[in-house]
Structure 1
Amino acid sequence: MPEMRTAQRLSARRLADLLGRWRGAGHGYRELAESVSLLVRDGRIVPGMSLPAERPLSETLGVSRTTVAAAYQRLRESGVVHSRRGSGTVVRGSGSTREGLWSGAISGIDLSSACPEPWSGLAALNARAAAEHAGAFKLIGYDTLGLPELRAAIAERYSARGLPTSPEQIMVTLGAQHAIFLIARTLLRRGDRSLIESPSYPHAREALASTGALVAELPVSAGSAAGAGSAQEDGGYDASGLLEIAERTTPKLAYLIPDHHNPTGLRMPDGLKSSLITALAGAGAYVIADETTAELSLGESARITPFAAHAEQRHHQDAILTVGSLGKTVWGGLRVGWIRAAPELIGRLEAARRIGDLGTGTWEQVLALHALNQYDDILAERAQQLTARHRVLVAGLAERLPEWRPSSAVGGVCIWVDIGERVSSRLSRAAAELDLHLPPGPRFGSPGTFERYVRLPFSAPEATLAEAVRRLDQAWRSTTVGAGGTAAPVLTGAVI
């Protein structure tokens, strides 16, 4: 007989931490069911995981067992979970498909995606690459370091931006997320200390935590646009506070998004970059500098100096691993990223990589090489496009939701918005009722934090953003009415 696998059980305490401030007025079991659905949809509860038994969860949440039982029944009816003998209530795998943002007419809007549509010249680039590189199809089709021509082109761009780089310092990866996980599993061990900005890119936090490392946080202020006259004087960063935390934590690995930060869109001041490098690298830490969105500026396209170039001592550059990608600039489907690091580190990363994957596809690398040959034109087009979309989003919020305070983004693809009340998860559930997928603020920090915030990308077309703001306004009104205790939104199944 085949061996029966026991589902991993989520503890009642852990689920309570993930739920945060889930409960509002009225229909408690419905809100509980919708909150769990939201966690499943956002990937914080994974398929195959077993939910806590009813009694311990009811005791931990301080609700009746009847409420938990009704919530679980609602989850079963909506297909989010099923009952399995010996495992209890188990999360199902998702069999749904999503049309995405670029399918034509507006229906469902996915604000979990902060990735623009494919660059307009991608089809022509593909045709030209096929005509000029037919020999690529005679190669094995993948490798763990990258095509020599592509590594040279990436190195040349770093040198042009002010950071002298050789091809031996470059590894081509399967996008930025692959690069971050590869670095984390190569350099971190269980019990090591790591450091990440808060808020930050959720999958980077998951990469650090997946190694068993302890994760400490560097707080990043929102830099509210309401005070734009002074917000950029410090870039939204408390320099002395950040340096004190960095020195006290003494991490093995730190993860930073220094330019056009996700989710705030802010840029770290150059002086703080130098001081953080000195504090972290000087104490023996490695630093991941995620530059996935560094060259996406609002306004005129600008040449951004790489983070590692701000090292005041040359040997500190060897502690910095710079991650880049074409996913936000050219096309999310072009799964090509890279790591710039000291040659010794590149060797360690390649050895670790051979355990997990065979390398990056040759044809994707050929396309990436052609894209880099005209990268400045691509960035100029993206800057114009994203600037117009950012303007539409911010203007729409000012008109419909003037009490919300968006961050003073200067680049990237998203803003971080202070909504004024700790109801981000409830707002997310109300938005789902309007076919609007809005990840709640806690998705970008540790459990229970950032209930006053939401991340709003401005990567979608203007008409989609305008409709998104209209639905946000409607969801906000239903959420705040519910919070006042006079009514609460009736929540049905989650929209996937």
Structure 2
Amino acid sequence: MNDMWTAQRLSARRLTELLGSWRGDGHGYLELAESVALLVRDGRVVPGTTLPAERPLSEALGVSRTTVAAAYHRLRETGVVVSRRGSGTVVRGATATRDMAWAEVNGGIDFASACPQPWSGLPELNARAMSERPDVFQLTGYDTLGLPDLRAALAERYTARGLPTSPEQIMVTLGAQHAIFLIARTLLRRGDRSLIESPSYPHAREALAATGALVAELPVGAGDDGGYDAASTLEIAERTSPKLAYLIPDHHNPTGLSMPDGLKSSLITVLAGQGAHLIADETTAELALGEPRSTTPFAAFAEHEHHQDAILTIGSMGKTVWGGLRVGWIRAAPDLITRLEAARRVGDLGTGTWQQVLALLALEQYDSILAERTRELTARHRLLVSRVAAELPEWTLSDAIGGVCVWADIGARASSRLSRVAAAHGLQLPPGPRFGSPGTFERFVRLPFSASEATISEGVARLGEAWRSGGEATGASTFARAVI
């Protein structure tokens, strides 16, 4: 189902689906207003969208028209919507100022972000780049493929990890999200079938849906042991027969699980055998828990060499080095790289040259950077697990083996309500449905372990308070930044 909304009139039925389990024990109109604001914050209802009229929405929700009218009044007061004569109630959206005010008032504990803190060696790396690479300032700076030496270094790293690669198979992008969107708009057309894991990274789903493609789902964590159900996965893939599939095979976001090697091979055979292209998002594939270890790229599991040409592998330095280093890459067959470059010129003119120089130097010590990340993330994961066990013993966490987050089963269909109440306790927490289609995953929330240990401890403490309060989120603002 396509849940990426362009500006339009939203039906009462559709808004009811998006709202999910919004009711609590508090004031109904405030809970409804905060729940709608949550959808706006998360991007599931975009600015310019006209909300349903009061009467049909009250009938769809099973509440009084007075409740809906009061909720809309609250949304107008907080600046989320504006009423226009002849146009109805139209979404304005959250502003950066309002986001900053929320963080300032509430202390800014952010569980919406699953991105590690900047790598400690960045200042030295920048100084070294200034000293060693002044030549780059003689270049034009317009570069839609990537610096040749960076493309070569990335190809060498893939080769060393077990996937022979040439520089012609690499394009440097403006991070992983840019790569996902570029691939989607190049390979998909309106009405095409696409496939994504569920739960999954929300902005990947949005990139697929934004093309007008139909989005089918491949369950993750549906096995008897909370892992992968291989038979079901392959059956769904074969039945869907998508044109493009998006997968996070290793250290999956949000579960932290990794697909078994045999399933990787079988899934490639099924999808590529049908003529599909596969995006393998490996943004967090090299972020292990426990001991540093090498992860074999997904494309290396193709049993037939020509099936490798159907796989587009995405990487990024956003999670490993710094979110502000907007350097990602695509590894694909040379003819696909050519298609992607032609499509790219419509939207941007290349990746920043200086950022590419920093990325090249970071690659020279990438293994040591990853080892440092493994130590940090392992300690923080251990802390998160212990704090959740103490504060929320009835919750069950996924058995993550890598990445930056876990998937928590909270034992009740209360995720959206918890997200709203958490805001009243100064905690930004995206609800479970943000990671799937509307109405799904109300029993789950994503918990990151990428922040500092002090932030994790305080965040779980506030989460415990929100859960136990059972709650009323009276007057809390729910504006926050996007899920990453």
TM-score (norm 1): 0.92
Q: What does residue 3 of structure 2 align with?
A: none
- Please state whether the residue corresponding to 2:437 is helix, strand or coil: coil
Are 1:446 and 2:437 counterparts? yes
What letter corresponds to residue 303 of structure 1 in structure 2? S
Q: Tell me, in whole angstroms, the C-alpha distance in 2 between the residues paired with 1:345 and 1:493.
A: 45
Determine if contact 2:30/2:473 at 8 Å carries over to the other structure. Answer: no
Alpha carbons of structure 1 residues 222 and 408: separation in structure 2 relative to 1, 3 Å: farther
Secondary structure class of the residue paired with 1:24: coil
Whole-angstrom distance in 1 between the partners of 2:362 and 2:72:
49
Aligned-partner Cα distance in 1 for 2:284–2:340: 23
* Residue number in structure 2 paired with 1:379: 370
Correspondences of 1:385-404 after superposition (within 5 Å): 385-404=376-395
Deviation at 1:131, TM superposition (A): 1.1
1-side partners of 2:211 and 2:138: how far apart? 38
Q: Are 1:352 and 2:343 matched, yes or no?
A: yes
Distance 2:8 2:265 in 1: 44
2: CA distance, partners of 1:407 / 1:445: 17
Structure 1's consecutive aligned runs of 4 or more residues displaced over 4 angstroms after TM superposition are: 97-100, 103-106
Matches within 5 A, 1:409-428: 409-428=400-419
Percent identity between the two aligned chains = 77
Q: What amino acid maps onto 1:417 in structure 2? A: A
Letter in 1 for 2:29: Y
Aligned 8 A contact 2:269 2:307 in 1: yes
2: distance between equivalents of 1:258 and 1:491? 41
Give the 3 Å change call, closer, same or farther, for CA 382–74 of structure 1 in structure 2. same
The one-letter amino acid of 1:202's match is: P
Question: Is 1:490 the counterpart of 2:481 in the alignment?
Answer: no
1:361-406 Cα shifts (integer Å, max 9, x gaps):
1111111111111100100000000001001100000111110000
Q: 1:312 to 1:185 in 2, by over 3 A?
A: same
With over 3 angstroms needed to count, the CA separation of the structure-2 counterparts of 1:373 and 1:106, relative to structure 1, is farther
Judge conservation of contact 1:478–1:489 (CA < 8 Å) in 2.
no
SS at match of 1:398: helix
Q: Which has the higher contact order (CA 8 A, sep 6+)?
A: 2
SS of alignment partner, residue 356 of structure 1: coil
Distance 1:49 1:343, change over 3 A: same
Q: Deviations over 1:235-277 (max 9, x none)?
A: 8100011011111111111110000000000011101000000
**Gaps spanning 5+ residues in structure 1: where?**
1-5, 224-229, 483-487
* Distance in 1 of aligned mates of 2:145 and 2:201: 25
| CA distance in 2: counterparts of 1:153 and 1:429, whole angstroms | 45
Change in Cα spacing, 1:99 to 1:135, as seen in structure 2 (3 Å) is: farther
Deviation at 1:99, TM superposition (A): 6.3
Aligned to 2:164: 164
Equivalent position of 1:152 in the other structure: 152
Are residues 1:435 and 2:426 paired? yes
Which residue is equivalent to 1:238? Answer: 229
- 1:86-97 matches, cutoff 5 A: 86-97=86-97
Offset at residue 84 of structure 1 (A): 2.4
Contact kept, 8 Å, 2:312 with 2:330, in 1: the verdict is yes
Letter matched to residue 108 of structure 1: G
Give the drift of 1:114. 0.5
8 Å CA contact 1:220–1:237 kept in 2: the answer is yes
- 1:226 matched residue in structure 2: none
- 1:316–1:261 distance in 2 versus 1, CA, 3 Å: same
Stretch moving more, 459-468 or 35-44: 35-44
Q: Which residue of structure 2 aligns with residue 68 of structure 1? A: 68
Matched, 1:201 2:192: no
In the alignment, the residues of structure 1 paired with residue 105 and residue 202 of structure 2 have an alpha-carbon distance, to the nearest angstrom, of: 29
Q: Which amino acid in structure 2 is aligned with residue 370 of structure 1?
A: L
For 1:440 and 1:62, the matched residues in 2 are separated by 22
1:489, distance to aligned residue in structure 2 (A): 4.8
Q: Is the 8 A contact 1:31 1:491 kept in 2?
A: no
Cα distance in 2 for residues equivalent to 1:346 and 1:299: 36
Determine the C-alpha separation between the residues in 1 that align with 2:345 and 2:48. Answer: 28
Q: Which amino acid aligns with 1:162?
A: G
Match of 2:46? 46
Determine which of 325, 330, 342 is the counterpart of 1:339.
330
Kept after mapping to 2: 8 A contact 1:12/1:56: yes
Deviation of the 1:493 alpha carbon: 3.1
Within a 5 Å distance, the mapping from 1:97-496 to structure 2 comes to: 97=97, 107-221=107-221, 231=225, 236-479=227-470, 482=471, 488-496=472-480
Change in CA separation of 1:241 and 1:287 when aligned onto 2, cut-off 3 Å: same
Q: Distance in 2 between matches of 1:441 and 1:219?
A: 14
Secondary structure of 1:355 counterpart: coil
Distance 2:117 2:244 in 1: 33
Q: C-alpha separation between the residues in 2 aligned to 1:186 and 1:444?
A: 24
User: Matched residue of 2:379: which SS?
Assistant: helix
Letter in 2 for 1:290: D
Distance 1:277 1:314 in 2: 11
On the 8 A contact 1:106/1:464 being kept in 2, the answer is no
CA contact (8 A) 1:172 1:338 kept: yes
1:268-312: per-residue Cα shift (whole Å, max 9, x none)?
Answer: 110100000001101111000000000000011111000000001
Indicate the SS of the match to 1:217. Answer: strand
The residue number in structure 2 matching 1:9 is 9
CA positional deviation for 1:190: 1.0
Higher alpha-carbon deviation: 147-156 or 60-69: 60-69
Deviations 1:202-235 (A, max 9, x none): 0111111111111111101178xxxxxx95xxx8
Q: 1:451 to 1:80 in 2, by over 3 A?
A: same
Gap runs ≥5 in structure 2 = 1-5
Change (3 A) 1:399 1:330: same
Could you tell me whether the CA contact under 8 Å between 2:31 and 2:473 is conserved in 1?
no
Per-residue Cα deviation, 1:37-90 (whole angstroms, up to 9, x for no partner):
111111111222222221221222222211111000011111222222332222
**Contact in 2 for aligned 1:430/1:491 (Cα 8 Å):** no
Say if 1:265 and 1:408, in contact at 8 Å, map to a contact too. Answer: yes
One-letter amino acid matched to 1:213: A
Q: Secondary structure at the match of 2:171?
A: strand
What per-residue deviation string (whole Å, max 9, x for no partner) do you get for residues 94-128 of structure 1? 3335569xx99992111110001110000110110
Alpha-carbon spacing, 1:99–1:75, altered in 2? closer, same or farther (3 Å): closer
Q: Distance in 2 between matches of 1:93 and 1:492?
A: 16
Q: Which residue in the other structure is 1:485 paired with?
A: none
* TM-score normalized with structure 2 length: 0.95
For residues 99 and 176 of structure 1, the distance between their equivalents in structure 2, rounded to whole angstroms, comes to 26
